[in-house]
Structure 1
C-alpha cells in the first residue's frame, strides 16, 4: 500500500536522486510530492518533466534566494505551510551529516530550517495560516553518510534514468565540468567513446548514467543485498516492528 511521500529538497536534482523511491511509492498506489527551495527558472521546466516521468505530483517551487536561506519566520512559515497542506506520512530530505560538510551554498541553513519546520508543523506555530497542525511524520534522509536501509529500485531503474535525462541544464553543466575536470584517459575509462560524444548535454547524460549505475549497484547487489539496484536511505529514529522481519 502506498503512502503520502513528500520530498523536501534544496536543489532540483534531488527529485531524481530519490526518484526510485518516489516512483515505487506511486506504483504501490501512493502519492509522491516534491517541494524545492532553490531551483533556477531554466531548471524548473526540466524538473517538471522529470516529475512527470516518475509519477510525482506537480513540484512546488518555493523560490527562496540562493545564498539567503535563513532559519527565520518567513522561511519557516513557507515550509510549515507545505507540510500542513500535503500532510505526508513520510518525508524524504537531505542528510544532516552530509549537508554539514557539503560546500553547496545554503545546505547547512536549509537542513536546520527543514528540521525546525518538521517540528513546528505539529505545534501552534503560524496558527493563523488556517491549516490544521500535522504531526511529525516518518523521516528518511537521502544519500546519507551512514545508511541503515535501502529501497529496491530495479523495477524503476530505466524510469529513473529517463527522469535524469530530462534535467538538460544540469546535464549540460555536468558535461562541461567533466570534460574539463577529467583526464582524457580517465573519461574514456568511465565512458568508452567519451571524446567522440558531440555535445555537453550527451556527455553529461553518459557520465551520470555511468555514475548512477555504479552507485545503485554498490548499494544493491554490490553489498550482497537482495536487489540489483538500490537507493540508500537513513531512517530517523528506531524501527518499530511488531515482529522481527527478514
Structure 2
C-alpha cells in the first residue's frame, strides 16, 4: 500500500540506510521525502543523486549549526514546516536509545529536537510563521537502526537500488575510507575486505567496508534472525501495532 513517508535525518546517510523502505514506497506509488539537518554541500550533491535512485521526490536541507543543535524556536519551526508541507502518514527517524549511545556529535540533542517538532507539528505552534500550512499530526513513527527492532522490511526487490544509492555517497565513503585506514589494523582491514590496501582510493576503501557492514547488518536482521526474509532493514515502531486481525 502506498503511503506518504518522511525521513528526518541528521547527517544524510540515514536516507540510504532507510533506502529500502523509501524505495519500496515510491515503487508502490507512494510519496517518499527526506529532510536532513547537517549535510555539507558535497553531501547534499551526493544525496540528490541517491534520491533519484531511490525514488525520493523531494529533499529538504535545514543547514543547522554543527555542534549547536538544540531546541531553539527557529529549528523547531523549520522541522514543523517540513512536516506540514509533506504531510506524512509515517515518519522514520533515528532511534532514541541508539542515538543516545552513538558518539556522533549532535545526535543526542537532535533526537529531542525531532521528537519535539513532531509533537508541535500537529498542534497550533508557529501558525503565524507559516499561515499557509495547517497542523499535521503524525500517528505512526518508526525508528531506524534500533537497538531492539520489532519489525523489518524485506530488501529482496530493492537491494540493488539501495547499493547503487550508497555508491552515490562519495564524500561519506571517502571520509569512511580514511577513517578505516587509520583505525583498523592491516589484519582487520584484510578480514573485512580482502585486498583493502590495493584499492585505488579512499572512496573505494570506504565503500567496500560499508558494503561488508551493510550485508552483515541486513543478513543478521534477515536470515540470521530466523526471518523469512534473506536481507531485511530493521525498524522499531513506536507504540502498539493496531491490527484488525492477526497477521502472519
Normalising to structure 2: TM-score of the pair?
0.97
- 8 Å CA contact 2:177–2:204 kept in 1: the answer is yes
Q: 1:226 aligns with which of 202, 225, 228?
A: 228
Cα deviation for residue 70 of structure 1 reads 1.2
SS class of match (1:155)? coil
Q: Is 1:59 matched up with 2:52?
A: no
Structure 1 contact 88–137 (Cα < 8 Å) conserved: no
Q: Offset of 1:136 from its aligned partner?
A: 2.2
Residue in 1 aligned with 2:134? 132
* Deviation, structure 1 residue 9: 0.4
Partner residue, 2:146: 144
Quick check: 1:20–1:160 contact (8 Å CA) kept in 2?
yes
Please say if residues 88 and 138 of structure 2, whose CA atoms lie closer than 8 Å, have aligned partners that are also in contact: no
1:105 Cα deviation from its structure 2 partner: 1.2
| Aligned counterparts of 1:211 and 1:151: Cα–Cα separation in 2 | 18
| Native 8 Å contact 2:43 2:171 kept in 1 | yes
Moved more, 2-11 or 177-186: 177-186
Q: Distance in 2 between matches of 1:124 and 1:59?
A: 25
- Find the counterpart in structure 2 of residue 76 from structure 1: 76
Report what 1:181 is aligned to: 183
SS of residue matched to 2:158: helix
Q: Which residue of 2 aligns with 1:106?
A: 106
Deviation >2 Å, runs of 4+: none
Give structure 1 stretches of 5+ with no counterpart.
Answer: none
Q: Which runs of 5+ in 2 are unaligned?
A: none
Determine if contact 1:47/1:166 at 8 Å carries over to the other structure. Answer: yes
| CA–CA distance in structure 2, aligned partners of residues 223 and 101 of structure 1 | 23
Q: Does 1:117 align with 2:137?
A: no
* Distance in structure 1 (CA, Å) of the matches to 2:109 and 2:192: 35
Q: Is the 8 A contact 2:4 2:89 kept in 1?
A: yes
Give, in whole Å, the separation in 1 of the partners of 2:58 and 2:170.
18
